[in-house]
Structure 1
Amino acid sequence: MPATTLSIPTPDGRSDAFAAFPDGGGTYPGVLMYPDAFGPRPALWGMARELAGHGYYVLVPNVFHRHRPAPVFDLPEHITTENRPALFGQIMPLIEAHTAERALGDAAAYLDFLTAQREVRGGPIATIGYCMGAVLAMRTATAHPDRVAAVAGFHPGALVTDQPDSPHRRIPGLTAEVHLGLAENDMTPEAITEISQAFDAAGVGYSCEIYPGTVHGFTMADTDAFDEAGSRRHWERLLALLESTLE
């Protein structure tokens, strides 16, 4: 499976990125994969390779590129429940610095770069994300409705907040089909209702599913949160979404 590291021009300098794609010499639908709060790292790059094996060009940008290249944090080989608090002491300042304005500037740059790659087929792409990456995937899809046909978020971050720039407030402009795969405590029933009403009002196809027995981070094989059944369900839902929207 071909894979490469790349450098993407953004409004705030160059963003390093990882890309994986099939070894077929053709062109493939593009997928922009946003990482979770731990950032791009071998576990994410492995997921990109797995998705590329199903016939997609997958770009994983370093959303923390303003701070340092990936892997951004000095992570243990396996992230345990015990070492999460100390890690988040390092991570939260970078998350807080990644404002909606910065995210949208990056998103436009990532889309331009992805769709210009010679291995990427013309037409709309998909945005997918994990944890905070789900927020970035949604922001990208709502800001570029003519360029994004599918958006998927797994164990998402704060999609519904009381802030003026809450991601759910931008859903009226959405045209992409959506799947949200939630751990059992990711979103309150009230938040699920609110975002579902926003999808209904936008007239888009969507599913918002709680994956039973899972905790936040269930797709990440390098953490204690990983759940094999939840990960398998995530791949099933993601591949079905991409097949129905990008093929």
Structure 2
Amino acid sequence: MDERKIDPKIYALYDEYCHSAMERREFLRRAAAMAVVGGSGLAMAQALLPKYAAAQTISFTDPRIKATYELYDSPGGNGDEMRGYLVQPADTGPFPAVLVIHENRGLNPYIEDVARRAAVAGFLAFAPDGLWPLGGYPGNDDDGKVMQANLDRDKLMVDLLNGAKFLKGHELSNGKLGATGFCFGGGVVNWLAVEMGADLAAGVPFYGRAPEDAGVAKIKAAMMIQYAEDDPRVNAGKDGYEAALKAHGVEYEMHVYPGTKHGFHNNSTPRYDEAAAKLAWERTTAFFQKHLAG
């Protein structure tokens, strides 16, 4: 379904569904009961659900990359041992390293595809699965969302921080670390920038929650902050974040993509905006190349 034909009320309901404990059945029930313009609320809601098989852009077996699942130690996290998806370019390295952080539902196929895209662009990419202590991403986002909500949030952050440390110290890494993430993962990138200081060289959060103003003074990474234009929940923190970045002399650039909604980079749903996603990703890889290579 063309995203332009989906009623804004259905988009708003989908955003609530993605970021709350609402179950899929309730999401579809409420959508079906809505009076919408241009068709069926239920059909519009069903169109917004991710279709990962159709969205894959780079195969697991693409000859330009080598992809494996790797375990890493995570003291202080939800599990003593964590797992993530490691993707390297088909070369000997070392490579600049990029951590790829998932949304609020675990390491789903879209995030794995983003890690492969990063490797094709020349980076050693690692995408931790925050759900590993509960058995890992369950194969669908609905269960993944519930699982992630049931994890200890502070320990989950430690697990992702330990993933960053694992990647930075990997034998194939050149020692320069960048991080990108989406929605929850975008917020984690902002948090890592505060937490890691100079150990993070560059961060590119996509529509993620801004850090507390007091923490911004600790950021040493160069930051590229990506926002959708129509994303009031996340964008409420945008102006304050920018003011804090300026006040503390943090190197940054900030982009707002006109006409886009939260999740515009995710090509598995109609929220995807091809032109904006392409531009945002080109900017992301160029930014990492500038700050991580060499």
Q: TM-score, normalised by structure 2?
A: 0.70
Question: In the comparison of the two structures, how many residue pairs are matched?
Answer: 225
Shift of 1:64: 2.2
1:118 aligns to 2:171 (yes or no): yes
Q: What is the DSSP-based 3-state SS (H/G/I as helix, E as strand, rest coil) of the residue aligned with 1:196?
A: helix
From 213, 216, 220, the counterpart of 1:171: 216
1:102 aligns to 2:155 (yes or no): yes
In structure 2, the CA distance between the partners of 1:216 and 1:92, relative to structure 1 (3 Å rule), is farther
1:91 aligns to 2:145 (yes or no): yes
Q: What is the DSSP-based 3-state SS (H/G/I as helix, E as strand, rest coil) of the residue aligned with 2:113?
A: helix
1:4 aligns to 2:93 (yes or no): no
1:17 aligns to 2:84 (yes or no): yes
| 2:126 matched residue in structure 1 | 59
Runs (5+) with no aligned partner, structure 1: 76-86, 160-165
Q: Write the letter of the residue equivalent to 2:170.
A: Q
| 1:150 matched residue in structure 2 | 202
Kept in 2: contact 1:34–1:134 (CA 8 A): yes
From 74, 87, 93, the counterpart of 1:26: 93
Shift of 1:93: 6.3
The separation in 1 between residues aligned to 2:134 and 2:171, in whole angstroms, is 29
From 43, 56, 74, the counterpart of 2:140: 74
Deviations 1:53-83 (A, max 9, x none): 111100000122232213x3524xxxxxxxx
1:42-53 map, 5 Å:
42-53=109-120
| 2:278 matched residue in structure 1 | 232
Q: What is the DSSP-based 3-state SS (H/G/I as helix, E as strand, rest coil) of the residue aligned with 1:232?
A: helix
Q: What is the DSSP-based 3-state SS (H/G/I as helix, E as strand, rest coil) of the residue aligned with 1:183?
A: strand
The separation in 2 between residues aligned to 1:51 and 1:102, in whole angstroms, is 27
Question: Which has the larger helix fraction?
Answer: 2
RMSD: 2.1
- Bigger relative contact order (CA 8 A; separation at least 6): 1
Shift of 1:14: 1.7
Shift of 1:174: 0.3
Runs (5+) with no aligned partner, structure 2: 1-64
Larger radius of gyration: 2
Shift of 1:238: 0.2
The separation in 2 between residues aligned to 1:240 and 1:108, in whole angstroms, is 24
Q: What is the DSSP-based 3-state SS (H/G/I as helix, E as strand, rest coil) of the residue aligned with 2:70?
A: strand
Shift of 1:168: 4.2
Shift of 1:191: 2.3
Q: Write the letter of the residue equivalent to 2:205.
A: G
In structure 2, the CA distance between the partners of 1:69 and 1:103, relative to structure 1 (3 Å rule), is closer
Q: Write the letter of the residue equivalent to 1:137.
A: V
Shift of 1:98: 4.6
The separation in 2 between residues aligned to 1:28 and 1:153, in whole angstroms, is 21
1:185-204 map, 5 Å:
185-187=230-232, 191-204=237-250
Q: Which runs of 4+ in 1 moved over 4 A?
A: 187-190
In structure 2, the CA distance between the partners of 1:190 and 1:137, relative to structure 1 (3 Å rule), is closer
Kept in 1: contact 2:104–2:148 (CA 8 A): no
The separation in 2 between residues aligned to 1:223 and 1:171, in whole angstroms, is 33
Q: Write the letter of the residue equivalent to 1:47.
A: V
Kept in 2: contact 1:155–1:218 (CA 8 A): no
The separation in 2 between residues aligned to 1:146 and 1:198, in whole angstroms, is 18
Kept in 1: contact 2:230–2:259 (CA 8 A): no
| 2:105 matched residue in structure 1 | 38
Shift of 1:107: 3.6
Kept in 2: contact 1:154–1:234 (CA 8 A): no
Q: Write the letter of the residue equivalent to 1:91.
A: K
Q: TM-score, normalised by structure 1?
A: 0.83
